[in-house]
Amino acid sequence: MSILRGLTFFLMVLLITPVGIASAQQDQTPEALLEQLSDASPRDTEAAIKAIATSGHERARAWLEAYGNNRLSQVKDTGQIVIVLNNRGRDWEVADALTGEDLGEMSRRDLDRIAINNAVRRQLAGVLAMLDLYSDNVDVRETAALDLMGKVDDAVIDDVTARIEEEPNAAVRSRLEQAVAIYQVEEQGSVEAVEVLSGSLHPRARAALNSAVASDDPAFRAAAEKALASIEQKLKLNRAAETLYFGLSLGSVLVLAAIGLAITFGVMGVINMAHGELIMLGAYTTWGMQQLLPGQPGLALILSIPAGFLVAALAGIAIERSVIQFLKGRPLETLLATFGVSLILQQLVRTVISPLNRTVVTPEWMSGSLVINDALSLTLNRLYVLGFALVVFAALMLIMRRTRLGLEVRAVTQNRAMARSMGIKATRVDIMTFALGSGVAGLAGVALSQLTNVGPNLGQNYIIDSFMVVVFGGVGNLWGTLVAGLTLGTINQLLEPWAGAVLAKIIVLVFIILFIQKRPRGLFPQKGRAAEG
């Protein structure tokens, strides 16, 4: 009897090789393969599954997935094998398993499900992964190797080991070696397998090593402890990199929110408490563009960049002409007046749109993550926001250094009276500067719409932080704003895990207060009137 079992297992191994695949394709038709699965006894199910897996048929995966999901059925009258597409209600939507052709609806009483139990379903998961290991696509093979982590068992261990020798891609081969090593650690207590897992950051590998630490074998336990210590060190480095990434991401948002404020504050000496509401208008512009272009979130987002800038810039001009021009030289009064404007804008949005938060759809190309390794992945939306902030900063630097407006802004910032005497219209510069700063705030709102919900209070979460960035970096200095924003964002992200969000902000505020005592003009002090004030 043992000899017969050995021969049976040997034949199954042959089936998974290329020779076995070729013979299966020659000897068995798709109809026969499906009939074999539907008629198989519990003992023959494994052979029927492997026959389909090694058949090379283009619909083999669809059959096995339908079988694993309990959606493979047989028509009682004709014996036809079908895949159930929708099993709700009395009538089920089905498709021909052989061709994939939609057959419409059939009464569930006319169908017999091809039964599957949990043991077979677990085995099927490994077989499906093995099926993908022979794909011509490297990414498909690597995904299949990842799926095998923790799923290798006695039924597929020899097949996986054989595939390691044939696999040409180093990354896929490494994944397969780790999958085999997990099996050997858990089932065989292999010290050599522990060494293979010592550099792995995959959660399943750590779970296997954590179990090995409880072993009675001293050598095996010591090797597992050493491997875990090595992995823990790598995890700390990856967590530090992730914290730095989130800090830079938060810092880029602060830069976008503060850079417009830095321009207006530096040129006009205006404390604009409505700056947060200009950010909010940019975010609502993004939401509004998506309402105008339903189903096209990517196009709507791209169009929101100029639209958000224009909406916020026009709102800024309106604020400057209606309020600020009458309060020049009186910063405390501009603070109170613009605070009132911020309340008006918030209430206007609540009345016209809604007091409830709105969700902006993230485009597909901004969704997901950039996977660095098993323990570190960078979310794409934050990566895009970081890049967008740097592009906006570079554009502003070009405007300030290479255009007539930038030259006039710098002249008015350094000495308004002298600039007037040279023929520069300071009033026009004030209007254009306030429009530019407000427009950049609108761009900040466009970026923020991809990170959080859009609501009437959106800007209030960033106005205080924006002022801290401006003061810390140096009033009116763009480079100071960039460095201060990224620095404060990173510090805040470092403090939050152990101090909490509120206490972290308090610590940052205390740090800035102490810093200003030593350097009242900030990191990069501005020359001219701003410095003299």
Residues 9-59 have pLDDT tens digits of 333 444 444 433 334 344 568 778 888 777 777 777 777 887 887 776 778
Strand 376-379 with 91-96, pairing? unpaired
Average pLDDT over residues 399-412: 85
The pLDDT tens digits for 293-326 are 988 999 999 999 999 999 999 999 999 899 888 8
Integer CA distances (angstroms), 342 to 273, 456, 457, in order: 7, 10, 10
The pLDDT tens digits for 429-462 are 888 988 999 999 999 999 999 988 899 988 888 8
Q: Nearest 5°: CA angle at 460, between 454 and 465?
A: 115
Read off the pLDDT band of 1 (50, 70, 90).
very low
Cβ atoms < 10 Å from Cβ of 383: 17
| Residue 96, pLDDT score | 85
Name which of 452, 387, 51 is nearest 248 in CA terms.
387
pLDDT surpasses 90 at 383: yes
pLDDT greater at residue 423 or residue 18:
423
Q: With respect to residue 344, please indicate whether it lies within any of the assigned structural domains.
A: yes
| C-beta separation of 473 from 482 below 8 A | yes
| Residue 8, pLDDT score | 41
- Report the domain count for the chain: 2
| Residue 2, pLDDT score | 37
Q: With respect to residue 525, please indicate whether it lies within any of the assigned structural domains.
A: no
pLDDT surpasses 90 at 147: no
| Residue 56, pLDDT score | 67
Least confident of 110-124, 336-350, 388-402: 110-124
pLDDT greater at residue 475 or residue 471:
471
> Which residue range is the domain that position 259 belongs to?
253-462
pLDDT greater at residue 266 or residue 289:
289
| Residue 462, pLDDT score | 86
Are 110 and 257 contained in the same domain?
no
Q: With respect to residue 163, please indicate whether it lies within any of the assigned structural domains.
A: no
Q: What percent of the chain has pLDDT over 70?
A: 92
Average pLDDT over residues 385-411: 89
Q: Taking the mean position of all CA atoms in its chain, how far away is CA 504?
A: 25
Average pLDDT over residues 231-240: 90
Residue 308 φ/ψ, nearest 5 degrees: -65, -40
Domain final residue, candidates 447, 462, 477: 462
The pLDDT tens digits for 339-369 are 999 999 999 999 998 888 898 999 989 988 8
DSSP 326: G
Q: What percent of the chain has pLDDT over 90?
A: 21
Integer CA distances (angstroms), 183 to 123, 170, 189, 216, 492, in order: 15, 20, 9, 18, 43
pLDDT surpasses 50 at 7: no
| Residue 389, pLDDT score | 93
pLDDT surpasses 80 at 479: yes
Q: With respect to residue 156, please indicate whether it lies within any of the assigned structural domains.
A: no
Q: Which two tokens stand for residue 186?
A: 């858990």
Average pLDDT over residues 77-86: 85
Name which of 139, 186, 130 is nearest 162 in CA terms.
130
Domain final residue, candidates 413, 436, 462: 462
| Residue 291, pLDDT score | 92
| Residue 124, pLDDT score | 77
What's the whole-model pTM score?
0.75
Domain final residue, candidates 437, 462, 487: 462
Mean pLDDT over the full length of the chain: 83
| Residue 268, pLDDT score | 75
Average pLDDT over residues 195-223: 88
Q: With respect to residue 247, please indicate whether it lies within any of the assigned structural domains.
A: no
Lateral strand order in the sheet of 72-75 = 102-107, 91-96, 81-86, 72-75, 111-113
Burial class of residue 415 in the structure, from the number of CB atoms within 10 Å of its CB (0-12 exposed, 13-18 middle, 19+ buried):
middle
In angstroms, how far is the first alpha carbon of the chain from the final one?
A: 98
| Residue 4, pLDDT score | 37
Q: With respect to residue 42, please indicate whether it lies within any of the assigned structural domains.
A: yes
Average pLDDT over residues 283-291: 94
